Amino acid sequence: MSEKGRIEKPVLAVDIGGTKIMTALFTSGGKMMAREVTPTLAGESAPTVIERLCRAIDSILEHNNLVMARVAGIGVACAGGIDSTNGVVVTPSPNIKNLVNVPLADILREKYGVGVFIVNDASAAALGEYRYGAGRGVKDLVLFTLGTGIGGGIIADGRLYLGARGGAGELGHMTVDVNGPACGCGNTGCLEMLASGRAVERDVISRLKKGEKSILLNMVNGEIEDITAEQVGAAARNGDPLALEVLARAAYYLGIGMVNVVNIFNPEMVVCGGGMAELGDLLIGPGRRMVNERAFSISSQAVRIVTAQLGNEAGVYGAAAFARERMTRGTV
Ligand SMILES: [Zn+2]
């Protein structure tokens, strides 16, 4: 087959997260043709999770009357430490504990006979937002994924920056308080421990247990442990002082992280994605102010801090772009 034929075929993209596997098909022009979602059931063994992944791939092909021979290649976005050069999930995401040292690219390549390209999910989201979302037309961009945890991705001079082995962009694990709480990564005071959805929930729950008052108590009928970050956001929008204070604390630490990122990368844009970014100015506003006050002016004057545009589809958009670029240029 000619190089041109291979490039014009659709790309199959996969985003493997802690709760769901999203599959999608993209035209050569980057337009999404189809999308499906299935549970990851991430607590199961690696072979079982991979089997579910293959079933999800087979399903979207079947529903679109495609066979893999008519697909250019597979792009995979996956949580965890991903060695993109060798296509290996090296260190697991806390949410998908059993995927460790799994040569996922080789496994899928052997099964399907096409090129398979794997990238960290937050790096994929950065590439997705850069190509098709908030970052179109911007050459230097840093993405924070603000969800249950915090991830990140870096676009430097129009290219996805992965570092020496694929581990770059772990923005959630920069230290923002050396004496802060211990993190699952082995460090202390990581941004993720102080500004993620889980951190917000932890702070609210501990303060309520100490007897503080909040409308959140009514929202969950007294079941304090059930409180979600989303509910904290809703309470804050209703003016609840406790929710506002907890979010202000998270926003403060996120602001410290943003100042660091702006000083290090001098990005034209900082994009905030993930469920927590839907809190908008409640979470991101203080960061904007702190960047203005604390970052070097050469960098703070250049940066726009915005919310993402692709929602939970950023990962598959980015995985498709990653595969396409690796196939056409041999690199991203
Ligand atoms: Zn950490």
Query: Residue 67 Cα, ligand 1 centroid: separation in angstroms?
Result: 41
Instruction: Give the tens place of pLDDT for each residue, 15-37.
Output: 998 889 999 999 988 999 999 99
Query: Residue 190 Cα, ligand 1 centroid: separation in angstroms?
Result: 5
Query: Residue 115 Cα, ligand 1 centroid: separation in angstroms?
Result: 33
User: In the predicted model, what is the mean pLDDT of residues 124-131?
Assistant: 98
Q: Is the pLDDT of residue 252 over 70?
A: yes
Query: Residue 170 Cα, ligand 1 centroid: separation in angstroms?
Result: 9
Instruction: Give the tens place of pLDDT for each residue, 152-181.
Output: 999 999 999 999 988 999 999 999 999 999
pTM for this prediction = 0.93
Surrounding residues of ion ligand 1, Cβ less than 5 A: 173, 183, 185, 187, 190
Query: Residue 146 Cα, ligand 1 centroid: separation in angstroms?
Result: 14
Query: Residue 84 Cα, ligand 1 centroid: separation in angstroms?
Result: 21
Position 36 scores a pLDDT of: 98
CB 70 within 8 A of CB 61: no
Instruction: Give the tens place of pLDDT for each residue, 47-80.
Output: 998 999 999 999 999 999 999 999 999 999 998 8
